[in-house]
């Protein structure tokens, strides 16, 4: 746990000794009254917390906060709903790498039972995003959903956005098109590593479920402007493919 994260409602309350964060502060960081450590406010600034009091039941802190964080990374993931354990890994690692949104979607080959897992019904998914952010020493959490179909998610994607580009002393309106890329082992026409992405481009990266895209999925993706790309000839686990693809995209966007 590289960073202790607090929800906004928690900063004015005591932290119970039974909370894993309290255990980490006392036993791993070995903080005593008057000692400080790094903290973050979820979707807010980084800062320092000072341990003000230790009782039998709770810890009390004072906080000092820095500036607000940078905007969310302009990468949206569309992922065919996988097995819960795979989803847990993706939630943690994609948050660590930095994405703006993760939408787990139903596709032709999605197992419908996955949507009923306690990961989603009990809100467990958020814990894995928090773990990913703490690992990265960051506070931004992605927007997460798990109840959309592929077609529904495609219909909600933003269109091209208008930006102002500077050329010398002039400012010329310009348009940056949302880059839409879908990983596919079978019908890809180019490797992801060869895709040209500008630093100000917003990316939507789609990955199929563990059984891959179906024909109707591919047709829907192509109809919505997606290019089918791959990560090479080796077949990767879904969670590995997400990490590899995000690393390539972040490098192309100059985020590494």
Question: What's the mean per-residue pLDDT of the chain?
Answer: 91
Contact, 59 vs 152, CB < 8 A? no
For the chain, the helix, strand and coil percentages under 3-state DSSP, each to the nearest 5: 30, 30, 40
Range in 4-18, 111-125, 162-176, 180-194 the model is least confident about: 162-176
Protein fold of 4-65 = Ribosomal Protein L25; Chain P (2.40.240)
Q: Do domains 4-65 and 75-252 have the same CATH topology?
A: no
> What are 71-126's pLDDT values in tens digits?
999 999 999 999 999 999 999 999 999 999 999 999 999 998 999 999 999 999 99
CATH number of this structure's domain 75-252:
3.40.1280.10
Nearest to 191 by CA among 159, 152, 234, 160: 234
**Locus of tokens 């949302």:** 178
Answer whether residue 162 shows pLDDT above 60: no
Answer whether residue 173 shows pLDDT above 70: no
Per DSSP, the three-state class of 124 is coil
- What are the structural domain ranges in the chain? 4-65, 75-252
Q: What are phi and psi of 175, to 5 degrees?
A: -120, 130
Answer whether residue 240 shows pLDDT above 90: yes
The pLDDT score that the predictor gives to residue 174 is 45
Beta bridge partners of 54: 59
Answer whether residue 250 shows pLDDT above 70: yes
The pLDDT score that the predictor gives to residue 253 is 87
pLDDT interval class at 254 (50, 70, 90): confident
CA distance 59 to 41: 17
The pLDDT score that the predictor gives to residue 158 is 78
The pLDDT score that the predictor gives to residue 200 is 77
CA count, 13 A, side-chain hemisphere, 205: 30
The pLDDT score that the predictor gives to residue 255 is 84
The pLDDT score that the predictor gives to residue 165 is 30
């Amino acid at each position: 746990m590289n960073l202790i994260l607090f929800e906004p409602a928690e900063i004015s309350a005591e932290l119970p000794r039974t909370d894993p964060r309290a255990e980490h502060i006392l036993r791993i960081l070995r903080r005593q009254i008057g000692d400080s450590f790094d903290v973050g406010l979820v979707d807010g600034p980084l800062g320092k917390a000072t341990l003000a009091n230790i009782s039998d039941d709770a810890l009390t802190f004072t906080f000092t906060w820095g500036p607000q964080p940078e905007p969310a990374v302009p990468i949206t993931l569309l992922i065919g709903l996988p097995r819960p354990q795979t989803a847990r890994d993706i939630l943690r690692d994609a948050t660590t790498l930095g994405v703006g949104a993760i939408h787990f979607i139903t596709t032709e080959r999605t197992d419908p039972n996955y949507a009923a897992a306690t990961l989603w019904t009990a809100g467990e998914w958020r814990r894995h995003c928090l773990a990913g952010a703490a690992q990265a020493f960051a506070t931004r959490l992605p927007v997460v959903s798990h109840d959309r179909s592929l077609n529904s998610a495609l219909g909600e994607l933003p269109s091209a956005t208008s930006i102002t580009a500077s050329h010398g002393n002039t400012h010329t309106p310009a348009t940056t098109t949302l880059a839409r890329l879908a990983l596919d082992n079978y019908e890809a026409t180019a490797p992801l590593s060869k895709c040209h992405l500008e630093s100000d481009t917003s990316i939507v990266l789609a990955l199929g479920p563990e059984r891959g895209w179906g024909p109707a999925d591919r047709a829907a993706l192509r109809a919505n402007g997606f290019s089918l790309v791959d990560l090479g000839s080796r077949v990767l686990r879904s969670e590995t493919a997400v990490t590899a693809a995000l690393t390539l995209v972040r490098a192309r966007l100059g985020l590494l």
